[in-house]
A = this chain, B = another copy of it.
Amino acid sequence: MAGSALVIGAGDATGGAIAKAFAATGLTGCCVRRTADKLEPLIADIKAAGHNAIGYGRDARKEEDMVGLVEEIERDVGPLEVAVFNIGANVPSSILDETARKYFKIWEMACFSGFLMGREAAKRMVPRGRGTILFTGATASLRGRSGFAGFSGAKHALRALAMSMSKELAPQGVHVAHVVIDGAIDTEFIRNVAPQRYALKDQDGILNPDHIAQNYVMLHNQPRDSWTFELDLRPWMEQW
């Protein structure tokens, strides 16, 4: 039974590219988003390339969903070699207008789900003394910003989770890393909400999801004497 690579948040371009890239290494891409139907084109793509993938409709915020999912993958697909958490929730608000409900939901999606995935993956990987757990971060992981109390809070907390897990789990053979994406990604979302930015694509001014994915695979392949906890990715023309 070959290994599996779990990608939570496989719905967007980045998650999809990460799933494809790990599937291309021989792992079965276990792709998760809330609605399984929407995963069909991605699964078809991966299979058309001659690789293995399965789509799962699960709510990553629900403990029973995540516990059951990892159980199912380990039983039916193969040992979890890689787990990637790739859910964002970047919805800005003035602190004066931020609702408690939205502040909570951003954290629940962008951090709590990551905790659930991270814990379940760790439970399987630690006894085997191997495996890679990867978290997608953002500029907001590193500093607060006007209007981003909710998003930067969730991303800061996710980074603290990743760092705490790395310090605990690396000495047990499990590689945990955090990738800080600083720039717009080539996605439908950016094409729609930031067309001027999207136009920079011709000059490589926005991040190509496949190139992001190559870094995730590279992290998984690092020999254990030289593991990276954190790296940033940024288009050459990005101001920072």
Tell me the smallest distance from the CB of A24 to a CB of chain B, in Å.
17
Given contacts A164-B145, A208-B226, A226-B215, contact A154 B152 (CB under 8 A): no
A167 x B144 contact (CB < 8 A)? yes
Closest Cβ of chain B: how far from A76's Cβ, in Å?
A: 23
The interface residues of chain B lying within 8 Å CB-to-CB of A232 are: 228-231
In the bound complex, do residue A95 and residue B168 qualify as a contact, i.e. CB atoms below 8 Å apart? yes
> Which B residues are CB-close (under 8 A) to A234?
170, 226-229
Whether a CB of chain B sits under 8 angstroms from the CB of A218 is yes
Q: Verify B144–A237 contact, CB threshold 8 A.
A: no
Tell me how far the C-beta of A80 lies from the nearest C-beta in chain B, rounded to whole angstroms.
15
- Chain B nearest CB from A206 CB (Å) reads 7
Asked if residues B123 and A100 are in contact (CB atoms below 8 Å), the reply is: no
A143 at the interface (CB under 8 A from B): yes
A223-B240 CB under 8 A given contacts A95-B119, A157-B153 = no
- What 0/1 readout, one digit per residue, does chain A (167-182) give for beta carbons within 8 Å of chain B? 1111101010000000
Shortest Cβ distance from A98 into B: residue: B119
